[in-house]
Amino acid sequence: MITLHEEITVQRSLKDCFRYVSDFRTVAEWDATALNAIKCTPGPVGLGSRFVVHCAVGPTKVRLEYEIIEYCPWASIVLLGKSRFFDVRDVITFTESGSQTQISYEAEFQYHWGISALEHQLESGMRAMGAESLRGLKDALDNIASLPEVSDCTARADRWVAPGVAMFSKWGYRRSVPHRQPNSKFLDGQHVVISGANSGLGLATSIALAEAGADLTLIIRNPANREGLLETLESATGRSDIAIEIADLSLMADVRAVSDRLLAKERPIDVLINNAGALFNDYGVTSEGLEQSFALLLASPTLLTQKLLPLLQNRSSPGRVINVVSGGMYTEKLVCERLIMTPPKYNGAQAYARAKRALTVLSELWAEQWREDGIVVNAMHPGWADTPGVASALPTFRSITRRILRTSEEGADTIIWLAKAREAGSVTGKLFLDREPRTPYLLTKTKESANQRAKLEAFIDTQIDSVLET
């Protein structure tokens, strides 16, 4: 048996350290050998939670199945890991010392299949590995990550259409994972507003940010889904304090009403995530007379963000606006006069892409306008994610690409990072995919004119005003 023992001291609270380490999904962020980690039991992390971790051991990839067998907040945690080649018992203890926390990590390895005869030869390498992993944990908890730069691979992909589009698949997501910096920040006491939170990317984001301690206000359309959503969130996170607002965001009157309710509460907003959306294959207009794609995908986030601006600005730390767009926008050029499509030339996918292109441009405009107000505005696109919206609106596309689609959690990862990460609060006006800034244009012919950029906001505001004044 080999026993490893390492200690570190970090400038983080006892609670933060315990929460970060006990959620063993984070091991992939700091352990030198961990390739990925998932939680395979439902509910919040606690006694009995199980995780699967894939590790690189020399030229071999090893699957480890971990279970929390002792769980004592905020003092200690014990995990038992099993693999084909060895079992490991990890004992992690946390001790508060003023503003610092001391973490003691002890791992006992018991080898199988006669490998124990090689323990002497393995020991020095194992000790070096353990020391490197704890240095990684210290870096993660010290929260010193810098804003990611565009990798060489990404820069090459952005110069060519096919490689750039290939990055939208699950392989693009997985390619990015080993190069990521840890994200150990918690959001205790921070107010996050998320639209379109009932399923897909919005639900995955809501669960992750609830786990991170954020106070959530979720905007959903159908009141019949309220109780089911609350039950899902409580089952996944243990949280029963999540606020739900009901509004049909394709209707400007509803957008105005929900904004007024939030303004009346006078609760500052730390993060606003404009995620609500749908792809309408058939042409339709709302009861207010706006074409439905334009109304939901562009007019709605515009009015919501403008109305909530007083709750976002002039904070001690930057307020954040995150606009969820789509890779489909790469095919379209901003032409304001073409944003509202009409029959017989209506095309749902094209209307969706045009609106998302406009929202990307709008993100850049807002970032510049609101810089002095202490608000950062960024757009992100999730790649190709297998969400309920894709299944219902694009069944043929899903059938063809199903094997390479991302999960909702993978698609939502960059939203979560933009909402949480300390370093993400220092950049504004960018488009992100897989936590990397990306070019908004894969094709030069899709770059809009300065005149179209200049008239975009006024064009949207005119359409909104036309229905609110009637």
Closest CA to 274 of 246, 319, 304: 304
Assigned token pair, 403:
């094997």
The three-class DSSP label of residue 104 is: strand
The three-class DSSP label of residue 66 is: strand
Contacting residues for 162 by C-beta, under 8 A, at least 6 apart: none
Q: Which of 105, 173, 330, 352 is catalytic?
A: 352
Contact in structure between 430 and 324 (CB atoms under 8 Å): no
Closest CA to 328 of 300, 287, 358: 358
For residue 113, whether the previous peptide bond is cis, meaning omega lies within 30 degrees of 0, is: no
Closest CA to 36 of 63, 67, 60: 63
Beta bridge partners, 66, equal 51, 81
Angle subtended at Cα 309 by Cα 307 and Cα 315, rounded to the nearest 5 degrees: 155
Q: Is 283 a catalytic site residue?
A: no
Helices (H) and strands (E) in the chain, counts: 16, 15
Reported in sequence order, the residue ranges of 411-468 that DSSP labels E, i.e. its strands, are 431-433, 436-438
Closest CA to 115 of 126, 128, 106, 105: 126
For residue 344, whether the previous peptide bond is cis, meaning omega lies within 30 degrees of 0, is: yes
Contacting residues for 190 by C-beta, under 8 A, at least 6 apart: 213, 214, 215, 270, 271
Q: Residue 469: count other Cβ atoms within 10 Å of its Cβ.
A: 6
The three-class DSSP label of residue 431 is: strand
Contact in structure between 203 and 276 (CB atoms under 8 Å): no
Please report which residue ranges of 90-148 form alpha helices under DSSP H.
119-142
Q: Annotated active-site positions, please?
A: 352
